[in-house]
Each structure stands twice: as C-alpha cells, then as structure tokens.
C-alpha cells in the first residue's frame, strides 16, 4: 500500500519504518526539518521518501496521523483533501502541555476526527498511553509478570497476528472480545494517560490500572 505519514516523530517515524520494512510505499512528512524526514526515509530503505503533507496524502491508500493533538489543525490544513482515505490515527486528544484531555468525556479523538473528516474512514490505533509514562512500570514488571496489552476484533486471523505482535514486544496479549469493544479502549487509555500525567507517583497509578483483566 501507499502509506502517507503525517507527523514523523516517535510514532510516525517508528511505524513508517516498520511499514517500509514490510514492503509498503511510505512517504514521511511533517517534521520541523526536511533533513530529518530525509534521514528517516534513507534509514527506512525501500521506496520510502520524504515529502510535504500534501505529497504524503496524494495517492495514499492509508494515512497515518501521528502528530500531537495541538498540531491537528495545522497538519490537516497542509495535508489537504482526505476524502476517501483510510486515516489511521494514533493522536491522543491531550492539551498542548499534556496536562488534560482536550475533549470532553462524551466523545473520543476518533469520533472528533470522523466529524472533521466526514469523507474519510477514521480508525483509531496505536493510541496507547505514551510509552515514556509507563516505561518504569514496564521495566519493573518485566522482572516478574509481563504487562498486559488489550486487543479486540472480529477477524480471527488478524487477531492471531495481533496477539503474536503484542507478545513479541514484551506484553501479555489480553483479548477483550469483538471489535465493538474498541469504543472502550480509547477512553480507557486516555483515562490512564490523564491520571498518569497528573499524579506525582505515576508508575504506581499506572500499575493499578494495568491489573484490569477479563475477570474485571
């Protein structure tokens, strides 16, 4: 597939590189310098290249949105028309300094994006709590139990792949059931994100939420 990356930081850089390694045609865009985009494209190899947001979107089958929520207006304006595209978003709706949710409790980032991009198909993915918040917890738990990572879906084959990938990156895959469960995972990750950023003892707080499992 042709995959346009909007936001080539930690998430966009890493995911774009993985997509390029998997044989997809990737265009990295939206960083503070063109040099960085070119460096990423060179390192990713294959046909990966650097471009502007509108070049990344032009002809793309899938667009990965990986900017901070506060950059959304800017990147969407630069990207242009997203009609008919599959927009994969990992942007968490946090305010500019990550101290609070940018949206109220009655909607999600994916729903807000779907409202703003009515002619695109919006999928919320990779919208986990930023890894740096939980890194210490994960490091500590890796010594004993692996941290859980929830996933859901309706396609049995895809779920097997997801579970294997989750296991590969050091988590315990926790199947939460059919795709309709996805509507609960974003607010859940936002809740953890907000609590973790606001509390002084972040890791302990995050640890408690990690312990949710099928038994409730």
Ligand X SMILES: NC(=O)c1ccc[n+]([C@@H]2O[C@H](COP(=O)([O-])OP(=O)(O)OC[C@H]3O[C@@H](n4cnc5c(N)ncnc54)[C@H](OP(=O)(O)O)[C@@H]3O)[C@@H](O)[C@H]2O)c1
Distances (CA, A) of 16 to 13, 43, 186, 199: 5, 11, 22, 32
User: Which residue is listed with tokens 């939980």?
Assistant: 134
In the window 125-154, what residues touch ligand X (CB under 6 A)?
Answer: 126-128, 130-131
Query: 3 near 64, Cβ under 8 Å?
Result: yes
- Interacting stretch for ligand X, rule CB under 6 A, among 6-14, 100-108, 175-183, 206-214? 6-14
User: Rule CB under 6 A: is residue 67 a binding residue for ligand X?
Assistant: yes
Does 31 interact with ligand X (rule: CB under 6 A)? Answer: yes
Task: State whether residue 50 is helix, strand or coil.
Answer: strand
Does 10 engage in binding with ligand X (CB under 6 A)?
yes
Least Å from the CB of residue 1 to ligand X: 21
Measured distance CA(128)–CA(12) in Å, rounded: 14
Instruction: Kindly indicate which of the ranges 51-59, 63-71, 114-122, 162-170 contains the residues binding ligand X, using the contact rule CB under 6 A.
Output: 63-71
CA atoms within 13 A on the CB side of 84: 6
Stretch that binds ligand X, among 27-35, 79-87, 143-151, 203-211 (CB under 6 A): 27-35
**Closest approach of ligand X to the CB of residue 146, in Å:** 18
Say how far apart CA 33 and CA 106 lie, in whole Å: 37
Among 2, 68, 146, 183, binds ligand X (CB under 6 A): 68
């Amino acid at each position: 597939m042709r995959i346009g990356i909007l936001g080539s930081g930690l998430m966009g850089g890493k995911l774009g590189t993985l997509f390029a390694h998997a044989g997809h045609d990737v265009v990295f865009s939206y960083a503070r310098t063109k040099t960085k985009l070119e460096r990423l494209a060179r390192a990713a190899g294959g046909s990966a290249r650097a471009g502007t947001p509108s070049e990344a979107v032009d002809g793309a089958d899938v667009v990965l949105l990986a900017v901070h929520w506060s950059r959304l207006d800017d990147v969407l304006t630069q990207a242009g028309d997203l009609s008919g595209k599959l927009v994969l978003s990992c942007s968490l709706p946090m305010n500019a300094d990550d101290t609070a949710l940018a949206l109220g409790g009655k909607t999600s980032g994916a729903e807000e994006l779907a409202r703003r991009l009515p002619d695109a198909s919006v999928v919320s993915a990779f919208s986990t709590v930023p890894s740096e918040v939980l890194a210490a917890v994960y490091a500590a738990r890796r010594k004993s139990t692996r941290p859980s990572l929830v996933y859901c879906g309706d396609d049995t084959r895809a779920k097997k792949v997801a579970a294997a990938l989750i296991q590969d990156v050091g988590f315990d895959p926790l199947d939460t059931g059919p795709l309709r469960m996805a509507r609960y995972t974003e607010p859940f990750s936002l809740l953890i994100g907000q609590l973790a950023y606001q509390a002084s003892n972040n890791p302990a707080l995050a640890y408690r939420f990690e312990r949710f499992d099928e038994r409730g």
